[in-house]
Amino acid sequence: MSGKKSYGRLRTLREYGVNLIALSILTGLFAGAVVTIYNILTGIGEEKSVELYRLILKNPAFIPLLFTGLAAGAFVIGTATHFIPMIRGSGVPQAEGAARGILHFRWYTVMCSMFAASLACVFMGLPAGSEGPSLEMGGCAGYGTAKACRRSLMVRRLQVAAGSSAGLAAAFNAPVTGLIFAMEEAFRSFSAQVFTCSAVSVAVSLAVRNAMRAAMGFPVGFTFTTFTFSPMQPVGYLYTALAALAAGLLGVAFYRLMLLARKGFSKVTFLSGVGKYIIPFFVAGAFGLVTAYAMGGGHDFVQSLGSLSEGGVERIFGISLAATLAIVVVFRFVSTILAVGCGMPYGIFVPVLATGAGLGALMCVWFESIGMDSAMSDYIIIITMAAYFTTVVRAPITGLVMVFEFTGQFENLLPALLGVGIGFIVGELFRTQSVFEKCLEFIVRERNIKFCAEKKSVTVEVEEGSYADGRSIRSVLWPAGGMVTEVTSRDGGRFIPGGGTRLKAGDAITFECSALSEEDLKNYLAEIVRVPHE
């Protein structure tokens, strides 16, 4: 018996230890290469679209031609999302659903389609972020790697999470942000397996990213480089709290208006629903003709705010700085709501950050007018950005980490914690959900996943030396939407387990969840409770 147990543990160690790390390395290589190429192209696309819009402004006769092209683009993009629903949206909800085992897709179709569709949106001048698609394409890379190696469903889910982390980290050059986001948002729980796979993939993807960008002559440093953090003065905490409160309230407004936009767009039946995409395309085109800050993800806009006191923000038609910031914030706020409500195939991660940063800069203009030291502006802008992100996405740890990782400066933890905490509490008080979580609910509802599934109850026995043997229930990656409802020990004792209950060989566990097939559920559980076969 001892020999059999040792053999089983060696098999499990190889299957879920050495082999899993090797698979995560492959995922990091694949995700890092694809996402790096994609982000380089989106950077070029943003530059070219700004040049095109400025050329059209100098030659107003071409404006009708611009909107004709936008209408054609809306039809093409709308048709693509109609036939490939998994690219409808920012990409984050889809990756979350795949990582949790709720959504299934053809990875190569989704990867190529999202790559092309979101890149086209960038070239047409829409306020398109690249981070959401990067995250989804990273998840596709992880799924494709695991599937090519003929790994189990559980391992595929782990690799989707690892690839998503790697994709986001490579897009931002922010390894910790990518790693935390996967656990805080994608799984909403900590798992040693998710952490290990994601950490390995993130490290490899960043190495690939930096090597490729250096070889091509592109910068490899931090995301936002123009901000300088000064020691926070006591009165700065008051300014930080006010700015974070404003960000939280704007985040609540974003959530409510997003739901209204989603409901309104669902009623548009023009061209079988494809016609609804004309609205965000035309709005983005009009905004882009007013200011280049309304175009692209918003990285350049956030960068310009770092030199706020030196006049780094380009004024719109010569108006004041405050008016310029107010217009940009409104434009980005509206365009992001339309993007989420319509289901545009591009990311809203950076557009959300840009809106929050713009609001922070606007607040700082007011604060400076009533006596605030301008040296505190940079830090308050970044904190406001993180507070707004936290309210919209409901991911406070990610919001806190990004304050430091995006800028490469690690001072003043307490005011950052204050700002992010206020943003999160405001969301709690107004009972908002993560915008990505809500969008995932919409996707599940549209695809009738819950309605087709039925409640299943399966009882399986934990084998000696299996993956589950000796692990706590909370550390096992169970099928999505289910739970262990009862455990019968080897001596016949029956009890309701908790997350910390440690499973042992010979335990019979009863697992309940909604599933399309009882056979698929049994096969998934078999991967967890049985010793891997040769």
Q: Which string of DSSP letters, residue by residue, matches 88-155?
A: SS-SHHHHHHHHTTS----HHHHHHHHHHHHHHHHHTT---BSHHHHHHHHHHHHHHHHHHTT--HHH
CB neighbours of 149 closer than 8 A, spacing ≥ 6? 23, 26
461 SS3 class = strand
The two three-digit tokens of residue 375, written as one number: 């040296």
Give 184's DSSP letter.
I
374 and 317 housed in the same domain: yes
pLDDT at position 412: 72
Question: 364 and 357 in contact (C-beta within 8 Å)?
Answer: no
Residue 500 has pLDDT above 60, yes or no: yes
205 and 145 housed in the same domain: yes
The residue-averaged pLDDT of 46-61 equals 94
Percent of the chain with pLDDT over 90: 47
CA separation, residue 297 to residues 45, 449, 534 (Å): 11, 32, 48
pLDDT at position 429: 95
Confidence of residue 13 (pLDDT cuts 50, 70, 90): low
CA separation, residue 8 to residues 17, 120, 338, 472, 490 (Å): 13, 51, 54, 18, 19
Question: 38 and 130 in contact (C-beta within 8 Å)?
Answer: yes
Confirm whether 255 is domain-assigned.
yes
132 and 203 housed in the same domain: yes
How far apart (Å, rounded) are the C-alpha atoms in residues 172 and 437? 21
Which of 5-14, 233-242, 306-315, 392-401 shows the lowest mean pLDDT across its residues? 5-14
Residue 47, CB half-sphere, CA atoms under 13 Å: how many?
6
Question: 170 and 37 in contact (C-beta within 8 Å)?
Answer: no
Task: Kindly report the average pLDDT of the chain as a whole number.
Answer: 87
495 SS3 class = strand
Question: 506 and 490 in contact (C-beta within 8 Å)?
Answer: yes
pLDDT at position 463: 85
pLDDT at position 1: 46
CATH number at residue 457: 3.30.70.1450
pLDDT at position 516: 64
408 SS3 class = coil
Of 482 and 421, the one with more pLDDT? 421
66 and 94 housed in the same domain: yes
What is the span of the domain harbouring residue 468?
453-529
Residue 221 has pLDDT above 90, yes or no: no
Question: Which has the closest alpha carbon to 416: 441, 449, 390, 455?
Answer: 390
Measured in whole angstroms, the distance separating CA 463 from the mean position of its chain's CA atoms is 37
How far apart (Å, rounded) are the C-alpha atoms in residues 481 and 259? 24
For the ranges 214-223, 264-273, 321-330, the maximum mean pLDDT occurs at 321-330
Residue 337 has pLDDT above 60, yes or no: yes
Residue 27 has pLDDT above 90, yes or no: yes
pLDDT at position 451: 47
146 and 279 housed in the same domain: no
The two three-digit tokens of residue 244, written as one number: 């974070």
111 and 239 housed in the same domain: no
Which of 6-20, 50-64, 488-502 shows the lowest mean pLDDT across its residues? 6-20
Residue 30 has pLDDT above 80, yes or no: yes
> Which of residues 182, 216, 250 is at a domain's end?
216
> Residue 264's CB: how many other CB atoms inside 10 A?
14
Phi-psi map region of 424: left, alpha, beta (phi>0 left; psi -120 to 50 alpha): alpha
pLDDT at position 69: 95
How far apart (Å, rounded) are the C-alpha atoms in residues 307 and 297? 19
159 and 10 housed in the same domain: yes
Confirm whether 534 is domain-assigned.
no
Confirm whether 15 is domain-assigned.
yes
Residue 534 has pLDDT above 60, yes or no: no
Which of 118-122, 267-271, 437-441 shows the lowest mean pLDDT across its residues? 267-271
153 and 212 housed in the same domain: yes
Residue 222 has pLDDT above 70, yes or no: no
Confirm whether 246 is domain-assigned.
yes
Question: Which has the closest alpha carbon to 418: 459, 381, 383?
Answer: 383
pLDDT digits (tens, 9 = 90+) for 470-487: 888 887 877 776 788 889
pLDDT at position 448: 62
480 and 370 housed in the same domain: no
> Which of residues 156, 190, 216 is at a domain's end?
216
The two three-digit tokens of residue 170, written as one number: 């490579």
Phi-psi map region of 262: left, alpha, beta (phi>0 left; psi -120 to 50 alpha): alpha
- Which residue spans within 428-482 are E strands per DSSP? 454-461
240 and 327 housed in the same domain: yes
Which of 158-162, 387-391, 447-451 shows the lowest mean pLDDT across its residues? 447-451
> Residue 190's CB: how many other CB atoms inside 10 A?
11
pLDDT at position 340: 92
State which amino acid sits at residue 357: A
Residue 233 has pLDDT above 70, yes or no: yes
| Helix 413-429 and helix 234-265, axial crossing angle in degrees, nearest 10 | 40
Of 516 and 413, the one with more pLDDT? 413
How far apart (Å, rounded) are the C-alpha atoms in residues 36 and 28? 12
State which amino acid sits at residue 205: S
CATH number at residue 284: 1.10.3080.10
Helices vs strands, H then E, count in the chain: 20, 4
> Which of residues 399, 420, 444 is at a domain's end?
444
Residue 450 has pLDDT above 80, yes or no: no
State the pTM of this model: 0.89
Confirm whether 224 is domain-assigned.
no
pLDDT at position 109: 94
Give 16's DSSP letter.
I
Residue 398 has pLDDT above 50, yes or no: yes
pLDDT digits (tens, 9 = 90+) for 85-135: 889 888 888 888 888 778 888 899 999 999 999 999 999 999 998 888 999
How far apart (Å, rounded) are the C-alpha atoms in residues 376 and 230? 6
Question: 463 and 8 in contact (C-beta within 8 Å)?
Answer: yes
Question: 502 and 475 in contact (C-beta within 8 Å)?
Answer: no
CB neighbours of 491 closer than 8 A, spacing ≥ 6? none
> Residue 123's CB: how many other CB atoms inside 10 A?
17
110 and 62 housed in the same domain: yes
Q: How many domains, the chain?
A: 3
Of 266 and 421, the one with more pLDDT? 421
How far apart (Å, rounded) are the C-alpha atoms in residues 105 and 345? 16
Confirm whether 16 is domain-assigned.
yes
pLDDT at position 334: 97
pLDDT at position 15: 59
92 and 137 housed in the same domain: yes
Confirm whether 348 is domain-assigned.
yes
How far apart (Å, rounded) are the C-alpha atoms in residues 63 and 286? 10
Confirm whether 221 is domain-assigned.
no
Phi-psi map region of 462: left, alpha, beta (phi>0 left; psi -120 to 50 alpha): beta
Question: Which has the closest alpha carbon to 313: 284, 331, 292?
Answer: 292
Which of 56-70, 89-103, 144-158, 446-460 shows the lowest mean pLDDT across its residues? 446-460
